[in-house]
Structures are given as structure tokens and as C-alpha cells.
Amino acid sequence: MSKGIVYLVGAGPGDPKLITVRGLETIRQADCIVYDRLASPRLLAHAKPDAELIYCGKLPDRHTLTQEEINQVLVEKALQGKTVTRLKGGDPCIFGRVGEEAEELVKHGIPFEIVPGITSGIAAPAYAGIPVTHRDFNSSFAIVTGHERPDKTASSVNWEKLACAVETIIFYMGVGNLPFIREQLIKHGRSPQTPVALIRWGTTVEQQTVVGTLADIVEKREQAGLTNPAIIIVGEVVKLREKLQWFEKKPLFGKRVLVTRARSQASDLSERIAELGGEAYEYPLIKLAPPQELDRLDDALRKLSQFDWVIFTSVNGVNHFFRRMRELCIDIRTLTGRLAAVGPKTAEALEEKGLTVHVLPADFRAEGLLDSLKGKLVPGESVLLPRADIAREILPKELRAHGLQVTEVDTYQTVVDAGNTEETAALLKDGAIHIVTFTSSSTVKNFVQSMAGHDLHELLAGVKIACIGPITAQTARDLGLPVHIVAADSHIQGLLDAIIRHEGEENQNAAV
């Protein structure tokens, strides 16, 4: 059997988007991923479905696997002919022990590649508004370990020369030794008034920053309860934080938001949450699939030119409708009736196909669409209503009441898709989820169903529930869930606007 290859990869400082393009490639092609606790678990979502995942996280006081055991795992998997990605937080060459792992691979003749990553000592200060260099303050900086090997009999840090040799000093893993670090710097000539910043979990929603001076930083750290993993940055550049901090000012900073949309739709909402400073945790509760019976849909598509109106109530309905048209090789020009769309996104999906939308309501739900259609519909006209298998009945019922001939067809069906229920429940229980979003009544129902084995009252204690509109909100209330946020406009941007407004009001009230 030929030997595999090992990629020694820097995952970046925490924000999964800060991994390099090459690093992401190695995750996607790996047969086995050996990862530590500082590598974002969201990166593992890019792994192949059958990839073997091995956790080897380390804490200062305990290890899941020793370094020697990690070395052995890398060798064994590579000798089995596998492509192995060793995923480390930050940059593997900066206190990442990549040299030891690479030496072991060389010993066994195993090919390897080192993929650099963005190191936390530069990224975390940047996210806290502190550039590690600035020509008004410094022309050099040093990166120093704050946690040396426990078996060392003497420190290898030359404190006498380090204290004043460079303007900015960045310590890794040094929070536990902060009193000693402060003592050594002041003892060897650093002013007690030198600014200091501690940054915990930099670049993530858990980012916590404490600023002080060498004289008072130990006491401020104790008051804040700040612990590892954290970066210590010492120097005048820390003063720039007051002017340059940006990440912590984003409207959803510090918030982890549960996204319950179908996996195929979740990315749009997740991207917007990230842009606003939050972190999206995806828990898709519905999966879209072709309808069980295609005969009615196929028959309607073959008679498309006979309909006076075609009314679309969702982007999904549009996508599945035209996908089936392509599969049946039906010419889009047979769609001669006037078109109505329930909202701007649905209308946009139609317009992208070169079609004109004749009716678009101001209120993006069935009731608003009915109001907009008044005066435009003529009794006796034929209406095609392509939609989901679980759509509300108000629209076809009211259309028939106005004397229209309505043909309802299922363009897709929704099925429950809740694969990571236990992990989601654990995050809710631990208070790691701050906001739960529901974008349809079906996501609410499936959420309650998926959590049937858990105490929902306990899981949702302290969690805000945000609904895309009044219909979804009413479904949540009917199922016993508290609703804190309801979008005024029933679309994704409306939901985000409502969440931002709610969080802003809460922050104002907390500041009073």
C-alpha cells in the first residue's frame, strides 16, 4: 500500500472565514482530520461525509491526546494510504508544535505539506481595534510564549532584554502567568503605565477584551473573570483601540443565532448574520424534495397556456416549478398567463427568468396578495397555484370564493431534517445560543417535534425567539413557545431588521 500524505494546516484564529484557500482545500479532500479545540468546528462541515474526524484538543491542564499520541495517529493514518489533515488553531508554526509533528513524519518517510494560517497574535488584536504596528507608536513587535514547557528548570525568555527591546510584545497562552509576566516586565524597565490588552477568543462572538496598564491589568483581569485562551498585547498601540475598535460595534456582535431554514436556503441568512457580527449555527429543520405524486404537476405544466393566472407564493415554488419544466422539456413561452408573486424575492426569482410580474403585494403573505389581486381577477378565469404540499388553504379558498377556477399543484414537499438535534440541544442548554429564528410555520413545528425528548422550557430559558411574520409567530405561540421578535416585513431582511432593532433597544435599556 502506498503512503498517504499529511497536511499540517493552520485553521486561523477562530473566525472560520479566516482560513486560507489552501487550508480549506485540504479539509475538503481529507480522508482523516485530526483537529484541536482552537480550530473552529464549523470548518468540519466542509469535510467529506465519510471523513474520519479525530479530536485531540488540549487544555493547559489536560490533553485529550498527548503530543506523542497525536504524532502516532498522523503516522498510522498516513501509512494506511490516507490523506490526513492536521488542523490547528492559528498558524501551525507559531507555538503549534508543527516542527515535532513534521520531524516524526520525516522519520517514517511520509510526505507532508505545511499550510500557514493567520495567527491569533495579529488577528485577535486586529478584531479588537489594535493594529500590532503603527508608525506613530512602534517599529517592531515580538511574539513570546506565556506558557513554557512545565518540565523546564529555567525560563528561556530573556526578560532583561525583552522588556525594552521592542515597543510591542504579544504573549500567547499567558493569562495564567499574568502576574509573573507583569512582574518581570516592570522589574526589567517597562513602565507600570504601559497599556495592556487581554483578548479572549478573538475574532469570534465570544471575543472579550480587557484593557488596562501593567500596573492594574492583573486586578482588571480578575474582575472580568477572563481566562484562556487569550492573547496579551503590551505596548502603546493598545491606545488605538478606543478609536479603532470595529468588530465589537457590529449590531449582532456576541450573538449566536440558530438558523432553522432548509439547508439549501440557510447560507443566505447565515452570511448576513456574519456580516452583522453574529455567528450563525445552522440547524436545518426542513428538507425540500420533489412531490410524491408528479402527475398533477406534470398535467398542469403541459396545459400551461390554458391558465389566465399563475400565482407563486415562494422562491422554492418558483425553483421547483421551472426545474420540472426543464425536465419535461416544456417551452417557457407556453407560460402566457399573468404572474403574481407573494413577495419581492419570489418576484426576483421570476424576473431572473425574463418574466414580468404583474402583481406584487405590499404585505408579503397570502392575505396581502389577495388584497392586491382585487379588481384584477375576473370570475371564471383559471388560476394555477403551484406551491408546497403543506401550504395554507386561505389563498385557494378565497380565490374560489371570488368565482375563479383554481388548480392547486404541489411543486415540492417538505420533510423533517434534524440531523444534529443532540448537539443543538446541548448548545441551547449551555446558553451558547442566544437567538432562535423561525422562517415558516413548518420550521416551528419541526423544531418542537425534534426536541420532543427535551424540556423546551429549560432549553429556551434566556433565548430570544424571532419569527419572520405574524403567521409563524402565531404557530410558535400555539405550540407554547415564547415569541420576542416578529418581523414587520415578512422576508429575511425584515427578520434581520427586527432582530437588530430588538437588540439595540435591549442594549439601550441595559445602559440606563
Residues 483 and 438: their CA atoms lie apart, in Å, by 10
Q: How far apart are CA 356 and CA 339, in angstroms?
A: 7
Report the predicted TM-score, pTM, of the whole model to 2 decimal places. Answer: 0.79
Check if 36 is active-site: yes
Q: C-alpha grid cell for residue 142?
A: 515580538
CATH number of 390's domain: 3.40.50.10090
Same structural domain, 156 and 86: no
Given 400, 416, 432, which residue is the final one in a domain?
A: 416
Shared-domain flag, residues 17 and 111: yes
Distance in angstroms (rounded) separating the CA atoms of residues 233 and 266: 37
243, with CB counted inside 10 A (0-12, 13-18, 19+), is exposed
Q: Are residues 201 and 348 in the same domain?
A: no
Catalytic residue among 58, 220, 287, 345: 58
Query: 109: alpha, beta or left, given left = phi > 0 and alpha = psi -120 to 50?
Result: left
Structure confidence at residue 344 (pLDDT): 85
Which residues, including other chains, have CB under 8 Å from residue 493's CB and lie 6 or more apart?
272
Q: End of a domain among 85, 118, 151? A: 118
Low-confidence ranges of the chain (pLDDT < 50): none
Q: Give yes or no: 50 in active site.
A: no
Has 58 been annotated as catalytic? yes
One domain, residues 129 and 244: yes
What pLDDT is attached to residue 389? 65
How does 33-52 read in b/e, with b if 16+ C-beta sit within 10 Å? Answer: bbbbebbbebbbebbeeebe
Overall domain count for the chain: 4
One domain, residues 421 and 411: no
Give the pLDDT confidence score for residue 387 in this predicted structure: 82
Q: Using the 3D structure, point to which of 359, 394, 416 is the last residue of a domain.
A: 416
> Which residues on neighbouring strands pair with residue 171, listed in sequence order?
144, 232
The residue from 36, 77, 82, 88 that is catalytic is 36
42: containing domain: 5-118
CATH code for position 47: 3.40.1010.10
Residues 208 and 223 in one domain: yes
The active-site residue out of 77, 82, 91, 173 is 173
